[in-house]
Amino acid sequence: MNTSSRARNRRRARFGCARRSPQRLGERVPGDDVVRGRGDDDVTGANKGIGKEIARQFAQAGLTVHVGSRDAERGRAAAEEIGGDARPLVLDVTDPASIAAAARRVGALDILVNNAGISDEAATPDQEDVEIFRRVYETNVFGVVAVTNAFLPALRRSARPRIVNVSSGTGSLTWATGPEFAHSGAHAAYRSSKSALNALTVFYAHALAGDGVKVNALAPGLRRTDLNATAAGSGGDPAEAATGAVRLALLADDAPSGGFFSWDGTPVPW
């Protein structure tokens, strides 16, 4: 590979990660709809939790990763800990000026992982303050639209652009009305915001299909993060969820778009 080719392959990985693999970057793995190896990824909310693990796995795969974080110092510390070609990127998904400044720093992009998200307390909709709904939706829904649209010019420069939206199984209306979850109506703001994110995943997949952009949503499962008290007390490994995001980030050209998948690759019902 000549110098210019290596340079192009380094371009692509802001806000994202890539799965650890003994295969060469860019090699198709038999029985797997994943292409190994890309250049630049972006992962929002990547200074902790699942986002940080996604960034770590991308870096371990040799990708350039932009570690999105609202706090510059935390982003710098996370990028330093992740190692490889991880680079801090100040990005507040609720701040238009911050989004625009971050997008200006990214020339070309292969993968965008919309991971940043917040939760509410375990309130039902009849007990929740409408301002809590607005705050949750500002990050989990409107922030995804703002960031995605800002980075689309960079993604369109990629030969294989991919967008991964980190959703939640609790956003599945099929599961919400079935036996999978208690019919309590709790965490209404968070869960409904993830249902909205699932809808946006479908709409973006349809709108961007002509540009070759694949857009999918991930249900990461309950993981040990500071999202809320339930997550903090769980035993779920964030790294396991991250492998699911990486899989969707590295999908081959003949793989699906506009889908909702669990961390293990199985489809999740809408």
Q: Which residues contact 19 (CB under 8 A, 6 or more apart)?
A: 34, 57, 61, 243, 246, 247, 250
Q: Could you say which of 190, 204, 260, 263 is catalytic?
A: 190
Phi, psi of 87 (to 5 degrees): -130, 130
Distance in angstroms (rounded) separating the CA atoms of residues 91 and 88: 9
* C-alpha closest to that of 67 among 106, 23, 100: 106
How buried is residue 175: exposed, middle or buried, by Cβ count under 10 Å (0-12/13-18/19+)? middle
Residue 32 neighbours by CB under 8 Å, 6+ apart = none
Q: Residue 89's beta-bridge partner residues?
A: 68
What single letter denotes the amino acid at residue 63? L
Phi and psi angles of residue 231, each rounded to the nearest 5 degrees, phi first: -65, -40
Residues in Cβ contact with 4 at an 8 Å cutoff, skipping those fewer than 6 apart: none
Q: Is 190 a catalytic residue?
A: yes
Packed helices 49-60 and 72-82: angle between N→C axes, nearest 10 degrees: 40
**Identity of the amino acid at 31:** G
SS3 letters across 85-97: EEEEEECCCCCHH
Give catalytic residue positions. 190
